[in-house]
Chain A
Amino acid sequence: MKHLLTTQGLSKDDAILLLDTSAQMAATQSRENKKLPTLRGRTVVNLFYEDSTRTRISFETAAKRLSADVINFSAKGSSVSKGESLKDTALTLHAMGADAVVVRHSASGAAHQLAHAGWLDAGVLNAGDGMHQHPTQALLDAFTIRRHLVGNVGTGVPGSRQSTDTSAGADLSGLRIAIVGDVLHSRVARSNVYLLRTLGAEVTLVAPPTLVPVGVETWPCRVSYHLDETLEQWQPDAVMMLRVQRERMSGGSGSFFPSPMEYSRKFGFDARRLAVLPDHSIVMHPGPMNRGLEISAAAADHPRSVIVEQVANGVAVRMAALYLLLAGTDETGTEKTGTEKTSTDERNTL
Chain B
Amino acid sequence: MNPGSRMPESSALPSQASTAPSTDPGVAAERTVLGEADIARALTRIAHEIVERNKGAADLLLLGIPTRGVQLAHRLAERLTQIEPAFDGEYGTLDVTMYRDDLRRQPTRAVGQTVLPGSLDGTIDDKVVVLVDDVLFSGRTIRAALDALNDLGRPRVVQLAALVDRGHRELPIRADYVGKNLPTSRSERVRVRLADVDGGTDSVVISGVAP
Question: Are B112 and A340 in contact, CB atoms less than 8 angstroms apart?
Answer: yes
A160 touches B117 (CB 8 A): yes
Is A344 a contact partner of B134 (Cβ separation < 8 A)?
yes
A327 CB contacts on chain B under 8 angstroms: 98, 103-104, 108-109
Closest B residue to A22 by beta carbon equals B111
Which of A21, A159, A334, A337 is the one whose CB lies under 8 Å from B111?
Answer: A21
In the assembled complex, the CB of B9 is this many whole angstroms from the nearest CB of chain A, namely: 16
- Residues from chain A with a CB closer than 8 A to the CB of B104 are 327-330
Q: Does residue A78 face the partner (Cβ distance < 8 Å to B)? A: no
Closest A residue to B123 by CB, please name it.
Answer: A32
* Residues from 81 to 101 in B contacting A, C-beta threshold 8 Å: 90-93, 95, 97-99
Closest chain B CB from A20 CB (angstroms):
7
Q: In the bound complex, what is the Cα–Cα distance between A1 and B134 (angstroms)?
A: 31
Q: Determine if B140 and A350 form an interchain contact, defined as CB atoms under 8 angstroms apart.
A: yes
Taking the closest CB of chain B, its distance from the CB of A161, in whole angstroms, is 8
Cβ contacts B182-195/A at 8 Å (1 or 0 each): 00000001110000
Q: Which residues of B contact A162 (CB under 8 A)?
A: 70, 93, 113, 115
8 Å CB contact of B1 from A33, A35, A66, A350: A350
- Given A329-B107, A338-B110, A347-B141, does the pair A160, B90 have CB atoms closer than 8 Å? yes
User: How far does the alpha carbon of A102 sit from the alpha carbon of B93 in the complex, in Å?
Assistant: 33
**Chain A 249-293 interface mask (CB, 8 Å, partner B; 1/0):** 000000000000000000000000000000000000000000000
Q: Is the CB of B106 within 8 A of A345?
A: no
Whether B16 is near chain A, meaning CB under 8 Å from some CB there, is no
Q: Decide: B67 and A341 in contact? CB cutoff 8 A.
A: yes
* Cβ-defined contact, A160 with B115, below 8 A: yes
Q: Which of A322-350 contact B (CB under 8 A)?
A: 323-324, 327-330, 332, 334-341, 343-350
Nearest residue, chain A, Cβ from B140 = A350
Residues of A within 8 A of B140 (CB): 350
The answer to whether B108 touches A328 (Cβ under 8 A) is yes
Judge whether A31 is part of the interface by a CB distance below 8 angstroms.
Answer: yes
Find chain A residues with CB under 8 A from B113 CB: 24, 27, 162, 164-165, 168
Q: A157 to B118, Cβ gap below 8 A?
A: yes
Q: Which of B68, B99, B114, B115 contacts A344 (CB 8 A)?
A: B68
Q: Is A98 interfacial (CB 8 A cutoff)?
A: no
Q: Contacts A24-B112, A160-B115, A350-B137 hold; do A344 and B107 have CB atoms under 8 A apart?
A: no
Cβ contacts A75-114/B at 8 Å (1 or 0 each): 0000000000000000000000000000000000000000
Q: How far is the CA of A268 from the CA of B121 in the complex (A)?
A: 42
Taking the complex as formed, is B126 at the interface, i.e. its CB lies under 8 A from any CB of chain A? no
Indicate if the CB atoms of A329 and B106 lie closer than 8 Å: yes
Cα-based distance from A111 to B98 in the complex (angstroms)? 28
Q: Are A30 and B103 in contact (CB under 8 A)?
A: no
Query: Is A61 part of the binding interface, using a Cβ–Cβ cutoff of 8 Å?
Result: no
In the complex, chain B residues whose CB is within 8 Å of the CB of A158: 92, 115-118, 120, 122
Q: Whole-angstrom distance between the alpha carbons of A283 and B93 in the complex? A: 34
Contacts of A66 in B (CB 8 A): 98
Would you call B115 and A164 a contact (CB within 8 A)?
A: yes
Residues of B within 8 A of A337 (CB): 107-108
Q: Counting CB contacts under 8 A, is B151 at the interface?
A: yes
A and B contact pairs by CB, cutoff 8 A, 28 listed: A24-B114, A28-B114, A30-B122, A36-B151, A38-B99, A158-B92, A158-B116, A158-B120, A158-B122, A160-B117, A162-B70, A165-B113, A323-B98, A323-B108, A327-B104, A329-B107, A332-B107, A337-B107, A338-B106, A338-B108, A338-B110, A339-B110, A340-B112, A344-B66, A344-B68, A345-B189, A348-B189, A350-B1
| Apart from A35-B151, A158-B115: 19 A-B pairs, beta carbons within 8 A | A17-B110, A21-B111, A25-B111, A31-B122, A37-B98, A37-B99, A37-B147, A162-B113, A327-B109, A328-B104, A332-B107, A334-B108, A338-B107, A338-B109, A341-B67, A344-B68, A348-B135, A350-B1, A350-B137
Binding site for A on B (CB under 8 A): 1, 66-68, 70, 90-93, 95, 97-99, 102-120, 122-123, 134-135, 137-138, 140-141, 147, 151-153, 189-191
The residues of A with any CB-CB pair to B shorter than 8 Å are: 1, 17, 20-21, 24-25, 27-28, 30-33, 35-38, 66, 157-160, 162-165, 168, 320, 323-324, 327-330, 332, 334-341, 343-350
